[in-house]
Chains A and B, each alone.
Chain A
Amino acid sequence: MKKEIVIAAVLVLVALTAGIAMLQSSPQPAQSASSLQQDQAASLIDQELQQAGGNSTDNITAIVQNDLIGSA
């Protein structure tokens, strides 16, 4: 009787672990973007823009002011 209880407990434990693993590994269904995801995506694009030199708009201002307006 004691042996049967032990085997049953082991089976329950294994089933629970497998269930948790399946839930965590299964792909999530398609869903609409939350505002958090929209912000994350915008931040990633922003990083790309900065790395490519897009944030250095000051340079353009300097070029326009010095080279164009300054020489006029």
Chain B
Amino acid sequence: MVLLLMAMAVSLAYAQGIGSQVIPKPQIDDLALLARGLAVDAGNSSSFVPVAIGAGSVRFPTNMTVVAGVMIIDTRRFTLENINITNSSISGNIFRNATQAGSFSVSSVIKNSRTAWYGAMTLNERNFNLYLLSLSRPITAQELGDKISNYCSINPGDSRCKAGGIMINFCKHDASNPVCREMLRNSCLNNPNDERCRTEFNNFCKDDPGANGCNSFIKKSSQKFCDRHMNAKRCEEINGRVIGGQMNGMGGMKR
């Protein structure tokens, strides 16, 4: 009987322990777009409204990923659905109270160390041109550790990844360490669709546009714009750097 009571006590304590586990919260996986700017009426340049957009993927504890977004037009909040994200462009439908109100499509180009977005929006059957600037979103130490963890799972051959979780823990505690920042940028080159990566590269490349990885990242982030406007001065600069290597005063990839 004593044995039975002891077993019940242990079982109850164990079951209570399970019940009191901290439930993990959903986390940002990728912040594809965080920007604000103006929507200008396509037929009347004096008619415009301020716009802010956020879009990205969120990972739930069940490992399910949901792509979601919001758009604030003037002071009205809309949600975004059917969001399509590529290297340098994002499109989606705009909803208000579960009713579709319009759609949008924007592409990015990096100019003067800022990511600019341009495109079109239809809202309540009115056509607008969109001009936005990305908002700065520095990566947190925890997120840096997660990015490096992900990078190391894809690149197990990288010598910096061979120390197991040591580097990841180190970077979570010393996020400003140059080796950690370099690993972050390596990770970002594989997935440039993240405002945290854009902020990292834009800050890193601001004073030294020829630094390792800068041109490659800028090229990926301006891909759609340069596909359409190959002769644009900005695209000639970007492509010239890649094709011709280091150019006078512009800087190429340092290898």
Q: Which of under 10, 10 to 19, 20 to 34, or 35 or more describes the interface residues of B?
A: 35 or more
Residues of chain B with a CB closer than 8 A to A9's CB: 4
Would B4 and A48 count as touching, CB distance under 8 A?
Answer: no
Task: State in angstroms the CA–CA spacing of A57 and B49 once bound together.
Answer: 9
Decide if B72 touches A54 in the complex (CB within 8 Å). yes
Question: Considering only CB atoms and an 8 Å cut-off, how many residues of chain A contact the other chain?
Answer: 36
Complex Cα spacing A42 to B75, Å:
17
B26 and A53 contacting across the interface, CB-CB below 8 Å:
no
Determine if A49 and B14 form an interchain contact, defined as CB atoms under 8 angstroms apart.
no
> A17-B14, A28-B62, A42-B79 in contact; A6/B51 too (CB < 8 A)?
no
List residues of chain A with CB within 8 A of the CB of B70: 42, 45-46, 49
**Residues B18 and A41 in contact, CB atoms below 8 Å apart:** no
Kindly state the separation between the CA atoms of A30 and B135 in the bound complex, as whole angstroms: 33
A44/B72 in contact, CB under 8 A: no
Nearest-neighbour CB distance to chain B for A64, whole angstroms, equals 7
A31 on the interface (CB 8 Å rule)? yes
User: Is A64 within 8 A of B48, CB to CB?
Assistant: yes
Q: Which residues of A contact B1 (CB under 8 A)?
A: 6
Give the chain B neighbours of A40 by CB distance below 8 A: 26, 58, 60, 66
Q: Which of B27-35, B167-175, B200-208 sits within the interface? A: B27-35
Question: Complex: how many Å from CA A58 to CA B36?
Answer: 11
When distances are taken between beta carbons in the complex, the residues of chain A under 8 Å from B100 are none
Q: State which of B3, B50, B74, B75 has its C-beta within 8 Å of the C-beta of A6.
A: B3
Measured CA separation A14–B240 after assembly (Å): 70
Chain B residues with Cβ below 8 Å from A25 are 18
- Do B66 and A41 have beta carbons less than 8 Å apart? yes
Alpha-carbon separation in the docked complex, A24 to B66 (Å): 23
Q: Pick the contact of A17 from B11, B26, B81 — CB < 8 Å? A: B11
- Is the CB–CB distance between A54 and B135 below 8 Å? yes
Q: Are A54 and B11 in contact (CB under 8 A)?
A: no
Q: Tell whether, in the assembled complex, residue A45 and residue B38 are in contact, meaning their CB atoms are under 8 Å apart.
A: no
Query: Which A residues touch B26, using CB under 8 A?
Result: 37, 40-41, 44
The answer to whether B56 and A57 touch across the interface, beta carbons within 8 angstroms, is: no
Q: Find out whether the CB atom of A27 lies under 8 angstroms from the CB atom of B64.
A: no
A-to-B contact residues, CB < 8 Å? 6, 9-10, 13-14, 16-17, 20-21, 24-25, 27-28, 30-31, 33, 37-38, 40-42, 44-46, 48-49, 52-58, 60-61, 64
A-B contact pairs, 18 of them (CB 8 A): A13-B7, A17-B15, A25-B18, A41-B66, A45-B55, A45-B56, A45-B58, A48-B137, A49-B34, A49-B52, A52-B34, A52-B195, A53-B135, A54-B35, A54-B52, A54-B54, A57-B72, A61-B74
The list of the 8 closest CB pairs from A to B, nearest first, reads: A49-B54, A41-B68, A57-B50, A54-B52, A41-B58, A52-B135, A60-B50, A41-B66
